[in-house]
Structure 1
Amino acid sequence: MLFDNQTNSTSLSVKTLGGDSVVRIIGDRSSGKTTYLASLAYWPNASPDNPVQTVSPVGEDSEELVNKARDILEQGLLLEPTNLHDIDAVKDYTLSITLKDRFSWLRGSGKMVQINVSCKDYSGEFFRDLVHKSGDPMLDDYLDDCCLATGLMVLVDGTAHRKDKDYCAGIEKLLVELDRAELKNQHRRIAFVLTKCEQSELWVNRHEPKKLANMRFPKLSAQLQSYSKLNRVGVEYFTTSAFGILGKQYPEPNSKRLKRSCDGTTSVIKKPRVWRPFGLVAPIYWLCTGKRHPELDRD
């Protein structure tokens, strides 16, 4: 697949014992996509009650992703954005996610849930390119690839709400391409995932992701809802935080803010020893199974 250095998306192939799904992650530079993937790969300080048993890297590229997460954890470094100049240099990350025994059965399948996630990390501004690069053959190749997916994960920085109109215009073009695609399986799922929900204005509504999405991104949410009704496509809403929070009675973000603008929030980890991400696996599980896992939605 051809790609230029302006398209920011991650392609995933998600497999379970008992069925296969193909998922694409879409997100621009402000979405925290690489930090999301690195935190998922490292899986630090998971709660004993969390359904996820292990997240294991597979292959050299995946080990590199874990090393990136270790840099965040141990040194509090800011991950550099992916700047790709050679398509052959695209990293291919594979992670194997296994649920604990008491949580790991798909209803009616008789199979233990193990999700294998293969991710290709591209650079650029996906929504901007959708709006301003009409007819670009390399972007068209990626749109064609998205159309083959049974599920899409739309990652959006929850603090970038002033870009709601831009995101809406970009997702509209993507949905037009999906509508035009001739697929045997039209039962596609779209997960709208708000990232950086350790920020106070997002954290207070983290357990009401649909309400939060409607409040912060009303145009984008309405676009997805309309498409869902017309095309019988499943849309679900999720909140995530790659860093988590500090404290319970008086919670605060476990992050140090470096920059805040209309493009969103840039932060690094504040206290690595108590780093506990939130909600990273929930959207992947839903895209794969079509069912929400209430334990994965917990803090």
Structure 2
Amino acid sequence: MGNIFVIGPRKSGKTTYLAGLAHWSEGKMAFNQKMFTVHPLNEDAKYLAEQARNIIMPGASLEGTRLPVGGVSDLPVYSFQIEVKRKLHKNETINLVVKDAAGELFDELESESIKPEHEYLFQEFLSNDVEGCLIFLTGWQGNSDEYYAHKLRVFTKKLDFYERTKDLRIAVAITKCERGELWPGRLDPEVDLFDVHLPQTKLLLQSE
């Protein structure tokens, strides 16, 4: 089983991305259905699939995730079973458990100190049983590079503090790539997006 968490700015599409994953097998994507299927397993994941069907598909937007008042136990936990279909080999089944960090937590990386009442979230997200982190970035214009590099520099200090610099797998995605300015760079984002728009951020990520 893989445990991961998703973090990024407010309105970067974290919950929408997970809702799309929950709704994947209901979509009319015949070609992709032959490659893999996704099954929401628990109530939180099934509720996300309902939100995708009833809110996103008609064209509306989901509400953002808020920081929990009652502690880590109040965070939604999304559980999925992903079946990867292979022609020449045995199918592979992946059990994925995801926690969605509210955008406010990413915003707090602006300073060197996280609010004490929110530090427990980093303690939870960076515990040894968590295998990976998916970071969503949305901006690429103006001072976006400096903005993200600063926040991720603070984030890497958290990784070091909780001794996860060596074994936590991190993936970075630029969302909103349907925009015309970014669409041509989707095929080779390292060169066409990060090198052009976010060079400091790329160097920081490569150094960790």
Q: TM-score, normalised by structure 1?
A: 0.59
CA distance in 2 between counterparts of 1:32 and 1:160 reads 18
The root-mean-square deviation of aligned C-alpha atoms, in Å, is 2.6
What's the secondary structure of 1:29's corresponding residue? coil
CA distance in 2 between counterparts of 1:83 and 1:126 reads 9
Q: 1:133–1:139: 8 Å Cα contact kept in structure 2?
A: no
Deviation at 1:154, TM superposition (A): 1.1
CA distance in 2 between counterparts of 1:187 and 1:93 reads 23
Q: Residue 93 of structure 1 corresponds to which residue in structure 2?
A: 78
1:81-230 to structure 2, matched below 5 A, reads: 81-84=64-67, 86-87=69-70, 88-102=73-87, 112-132=91-111, 134-148=113-127, 149-158=130-139, 162-182=143-163, 186-211=166-191, 212-227=193-208
Q: Residue 48 of structure 2 corresponds to which residue in structure 1?
A: 65
Higher helix share: 2
| CA offset digits 1:205-243 (Å, max 9, x no partner) | 11102111222222211111122xxxxxxxxxxxxxxxx
Q: Residue 36 of structure 1 corresponds to which residue in structure 2?
A: 17
Q: Residue 3 of structure 2 corresponds to which residue in structure 1?
A: 22
CA distance in 2 between counterparts of 1:135 and 1:93 reads 25
- Judged with a 3 Å threshold, the aligned counterparts in structure 2 of structure 1 residues 133 and 180 are, in CA distance, closer, same or farther, namely closer
| CA offset digits 1:251-294 (Å, max 9, x no partner) | xxxxxxxxxxxxxxxxxxxxxxxxxxxxxxxxxxxxxxxxxxxx
Residue identity in the other structure for 1:213: F
Which deviates further from its counterpart, 118-127 or 198-207? 118-127
Higher strand share: 1
Q: 2:8–2:136: 8 Å Cα contact kept in structure 1?
A: yes
CA distance in 1 between counterparts of 2:168 and 2:100 reads 22
- Judged with a 3 Å threshold, the aligned counterparts in structure 2 of structure 1 residues 124 and 158 are, in CA distance, closer, same or farther, namely closer
The gaps in structure 2 that reach 5 residues or longer are none
- Judged with a 3 Å threshold, the aligned counterparts in structure 2 of structure 1 residues 114 and 71 are, in CA distance, closer, same or farther, namely same
Q: TM-score, normalised by structure 2?
A: 0.82
Deviation at 1:192, TM superposition (A): 1.2
- Judged with a 3 Å threshold, the aligned counterparts in structure 2 of structure 1 residues 220 and 35 are, in CA distance, closer, same or farther, namely same
CA distance in 1 between counterparts of 2:176 and 2:30 reads 19
CA distance in 2 between counterparts of 1:78 and 1:102 reads 37
Which deviates further from its counterpart, 81-90 or 61-70? 81-90
What's the secondary structure of 1:30's corresponding residue? coil
Runs of 4+ in 1 over 4 A off after TM superposition: 158-161
Deviation at 1:130, TM superposition (A): 1.7
The gaps in structure 1 that reach 5 residues or longer are 1-14, 16-20, 106-110, 228-299
Residue identity in the other structure for 2:31: P
Q: 1:127–1:166: 8 Å Cα contact kept in structure 2?
A: no
| CA offset digits 1:144-194 (Å, max 9, x no partner) | 2333333221111255664322221111111122123346x9333221111
Deviation at 1:49, TM superposition (A): 5.0
Q: Which structure has more RCO (C-alpha within 8 Å, separation ≥ 6)?
A: 2
Alignment length (residue pairs):
201
CA distance in 1 between counterparts of 2:15 and 2:78 reads 11
CA distance in 1 between counterparts of 2:22 and 2:204 reads 32
CA distance in 1 between counterparts of 2:185 and 2:179 reads 11
Q: 2:4–2:98: 8 Å Cα contact kept in structure 1?
A: no
| CA offset digits 1:67-126 (Å, max 9, x no partner) | 1111245421111112345335432221111111327x5xxxxx6422222223343323
Q: Residue 4 of structure 1 corresponds to which residue in structure 2?
A: none
Q: 1:81–1:123: 8 Å Cα contact kept in structure 2?
A: yes
